[in-house]
Structure 1
Amino acid sequence: MFTVTFVLHEKPGTDRAEALRYWRETHGPIAAKVPGVRRYVQQHAVGAPEGDPPFLGVASLSFDDQDAFAAAGQSAEFAAAVADVDNFADPALVTAFTEDVVIVG
C-alpha cells in the first residue's frame, strides 16, 4: 500500500466548525472519487493540550502502489479534489508519502 498524507491548515476567515463540516460532508465525497483510492481517512483536529489545535487536520489517501498514485494524480478527479481545498482550508498543503507502522492494533 502506498499512502500520501496531507496536513491541512485553517483558511483565514473561515469558521473552524464549518470548515470541518464542509471537509467531511462535501470535500470527502469529492476526494473519494479519485481513481485508485483504496482508503481515505480524515483526521479532524478537535483539540490540543495547549488549547486550539495548530492545524485543521490530516487526510491520508492510500493506493495499491506509487504507480497507482501517479496515475490518480493525473486524473480530473484528483484535480477537482485539490481545487476544492480552497473552499474550506488553506490550499498550501503540506504533503508527504507515509508508511503505517502499527505498534498496537
Structure 2
Amino acid sequence: MATLLVLYGRPSDPAAFDRHYAERHLPLVRKLPGLRGVTLSAGVEVLSGDDLYRVVRLEFPTAEAVKAALGSAEGLAAAADLANFADGGIQIVAFDEVAA
C-alpha cells in the first residue's frame, strides 16, 4: 500500500477552511483515480515542529497509483483548489508502506 499525507497548517479562518474542505475539496479528492481510502484527523496535537490544523491520509494500492492520481485531471483540479482555502500552508508527503 502507498500513502499520501497532506498536512495543513493552521488557517486564518478555521471555520471557512472546514466548510470549504467538506463542501468543495473533499468531493474533488474522492474522485482521485485509484484512491482506496481517506482518513481525516479529528484534532492534531503537534509534539514537535510547526503548528498543524489538519492531517489527511489518502491510501492507494501502489506508489505508481499515487503518481498517476496526482497527475490526473482530478488530481490537478484538487491541487488547483488548495489556493482557495489552505492559507496556513501545506506539506504533502508520499511513501510506500511495509510491515515492520
TM-score range normalised by the length of the shorter chain: 0.7 to 0.9
- Following TM superposition, by how much is the alpha carbon of 1:85 offset from its aligned partner in structure 2, in angstroms? 1.1
Tell me what 2:84 maps to: 87
Q: Point out 4+ residue stretches in structure 1 off by more than 3 angstroms.
A: 98-101
**Per-residue displacement from partner, 1:56-99 (whole Å, max 9, x unpaired)?**
20111110011111111210100110111111113842122357
d(CA) in 1 for partners of 2:20, 2:95: 25
SS in 1 for 2:56: strand
Q: Is the 8 A contact 1:20 1:44 kept in 2?
A: no
d(CA) in 2 for partners of 1:40, 1:27: 12
Percent of paired sites with the same residue: 33
d(CA) in 2 for partners of 1:91, 1:84: 14
Q: Under a length normalisation based on structure 2, what TM-score does the superposition of the two structures give?
A: 0.78
Tell me what 1:27 maps to: 25
SS in 1 for 2:67: helix
Tell me what 1:62 maps to: 59
How many residue pairs align between the two structures?
A: 96
**Structure 2: gaps (5+ residues):** none
Q: Under a length normalisation based on structure 1, what TM-score does the superposition of the two structures give?
A: 0.74
Q: Could you tell me which amino acid in structure 2 is paired with residue 38 of structure 1?
A: R
More strand by share: 2
Structure 2 residue corresponding to 1:73, chosen from 49, 70, 73: 70
Across the aligned residues of Structure 1 and Structure 2, the Cα RMSD in angstroms comes to 2.7
